[in-house]
């Protein structure tokens, strides 16, 4: 079926991104919005807009019934969920297809299978993908949990089977700590995800977070190489780049091929990401999970491969085969993405929504700013603090860092407090320049550079 019209079941910069990709394909767009988002950029850019409820996400962007009703009334062929909200909700995917429309993403069955992290570990193991030492399945019994912990050793990680986005994770260092945290983690998982299932993994100290972008059409699958996502705060990514600067070529090949093997084993359709931990000292990588959606950081992959991932998702959902083979996909240069949030890094990342008094985005070859901001727009306080993503591309990583520093210096967002000073400081950091970081690098670094007690001079230098 050829897709002629799409409803975007999301908001913010990803909604704008999807609209622009759809328009490039000549597809009509319908944007849903809450009452708080009536004047957001995606509403202005779409061919049609539909109000789906009050500001609360639970009553608007997470309300499956209202979104399906809006799609039916608008007469669209398909729905794109973006990322977050309902993007990895198997029930939503199923509701879309049951209503006679196309869900732009993998099937509900694939989302269910890969969204359950225990089941996904099993799928990965069967596909020959190395997994982090830990439990083979869900754990309900404390005695069984103790036996597994005895095998993995400490530190260990208790993870929610249905978790995501860094949520539902607790790290324990002693048996006493484990026995106290285990029932609390189960209760937290049940409250947050409606599923109290847990599993255990060994903590790989000083691991790098590396993920592989996959594309599939249900029969064939390819990879678009990897991204480095190790700079994280509270397990939330802050800065991403492609390719990883510390990955040997043989490891890169094995990592990417394992992701394709996993995708083919489930007949994957659409865009997705297979996430890994890489133990740089041992030269080993381990499967973590699969994200069955487009990722926030997808632009860095687009910059180094030249592939429009969102357009590819739409084409495949409409029944087309992948437009590229593995031999067509090659790495070109280096790209880095900074997540620009409405937060103050010098004040514990306190949220700082407000009205955009002035907006100046840097321009030039290899510079891209994905955002939903415009001058005069008031950022609502009800949703994620992400304002946009500044992405730069250059012939190598050193040149990329220089271009990024210049682009950040030229990015002006007045009226809101943003994380631009944080990214400028990272650009100028020696360890970052050398690529000498891991998933536990950023938080201690922040204590030194952006602790509220840190002298103001450090922050002023980062902003200069």
Which residues carry out catalysis?
Answer: 293
SS3 percent helix, strand, coil of the chain, rounded to 5, is: 40, 25, 35
Angstrom distance (rounded) from CA 62 to CA 187: 22
Phi, psi of 423 (to 5 degrees): -70, -35
Q: How far is the CA of 169 from the CAs of 89, 120, 181, 384, in angstroms?
A: 20, 17, 10, 20
Angstrom distance (rounded) from CA 272 to CA 131: 18
Q: Indicate the burial class of 58 (C-beta count within 10 angstroms; 0-12, 13-18, 19 or more).
A: exposed
Q: Please answer whether residues 111 and 39 qualify as being in contact, where contact means their C-beta atoms are separated by less than 8 angstroms.
A: no
Helix (H, G, I), strand (E, B) or coil at 209: strand
- In 54-197, the DSSP E strands lie at 78-80, 102-103, 156-160, 169-172
**Three-state SS across 336-352?**
EEEEEECEEHHHCCEEC
Please enumerate, as own/partner, the contacts of 35-40 that have beta carbons within 8 Å and a separation of 24 or more.
35/60, 36/380, 36/382, 37/11, 37/380, 39/377, 39/378, 40/11, 40/12, 40/15, 40/372, 40/377
Q: Please answer whether residues 228 and 209 qualify as being in contact, where contact means their C-beta atoms are separated by less than 8 angstroms.
A: yes
Look at residues 419, 415, 421 and name the one whose alpha carbon lies nearest to residue 460.
421
Beta bridge partners of 70: none
Helix (H, G, I), strand (E, B) or coil at 56: coil
Sort residue 266 into left (φ over 0), alpha (ψ -120 to 50) or beta: alpha
Angstrom distance (rounded) from CA 385 to CA 416: 11
């Amino acid at each position: 079926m050829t897709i002629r019209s799409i409803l975007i079941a999301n908001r913010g910069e990803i909604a704008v991104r999807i609209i622009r990709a759809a328009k490039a394909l000549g597809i009509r767009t319908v944007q849903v919005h809450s009452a708080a988002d009536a004047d957001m950029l995606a509403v202005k850019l779409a061919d049609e807009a539909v109000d789906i409820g009050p500001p609360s996400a639970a009553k608007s962007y997470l309300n499956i019934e209202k979104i399906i009703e809006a799609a039916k009334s608008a007469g669209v062929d398909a729905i794109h969920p973006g990322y977050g909200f309902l993007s990895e909700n198997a029930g939503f995917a199923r509701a879309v297809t049951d209503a006679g429309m196309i869900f732009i993403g993998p099937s509900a069955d694939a989302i269910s299978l890969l969204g359950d992290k225990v089941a996904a570990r099993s799928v990965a193991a069967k596909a020959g993908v190395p997994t982090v030492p830990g439990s083979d399945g869900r754990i309900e019994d404390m005695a069984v949990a103790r036996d597994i912990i005895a095998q993995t050793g400490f530190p260990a990680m208790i993870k929610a089977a249905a978790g995501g986005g860094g949520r539902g994770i607790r790290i324990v260092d002693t048996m006493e700590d484990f026995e106290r945290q285990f029932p609390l983690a189960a209760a937290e998982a049940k409250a947050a995800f409606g599923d109290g299932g847990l599993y255990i993994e060994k903590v790989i100290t000083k691991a790098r977070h590396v993920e592989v972008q996959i594309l599939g059409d249900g029969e064939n699958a390819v990879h678009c190489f990897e991204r480095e996502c190790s700079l994280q705060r509270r397990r939330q990514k802050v800065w991403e780049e492609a390719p990883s600067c510390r990955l040997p070529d043989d490891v890169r090949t094995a990592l990417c091929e394992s992701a394709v093997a996993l995708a083919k084993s489930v007949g994957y359709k659409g865009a997705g990401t297979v996430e890994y931990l890489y133990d740089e000292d041992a030269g080993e990588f381990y499967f973590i999970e699969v994200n069955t959606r487009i990722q926030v950081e997808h632009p860095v992959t687009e910059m180094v491969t030249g592939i429009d991932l969102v357009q590819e998702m739409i084409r495949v959902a409409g029944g087309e085969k992948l437009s590229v083979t593995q031999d067509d996909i090659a790495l070109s240069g280096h790209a880095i993405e900074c997540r620009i949030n409405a937060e103050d890094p010098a004040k514990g990342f306190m949220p700082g929504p407000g009205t955009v008094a002035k907006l100046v985005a840097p321009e030039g070859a290899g510079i891209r700013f994905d955002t939903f901001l415009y001058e005069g727009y008031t950022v609502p306080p009800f949703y994620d603090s992400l304002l946009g993503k500044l992405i730069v591309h250059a012939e190598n990583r050193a040149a990329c860092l220089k271009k990024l520093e210049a682009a950040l210096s030229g990015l002006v967002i007045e009226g809101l407090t943003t994380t631009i000073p944080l990214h400028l400081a990272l650009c100028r950091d020696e360890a970052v320049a050398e690529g000498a970081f891991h998933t536990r690098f950023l938080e201690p670094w922040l204590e030194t550079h952006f602790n509220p007690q840190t002298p103001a001079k450090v922050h002023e230098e980062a902003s200069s």
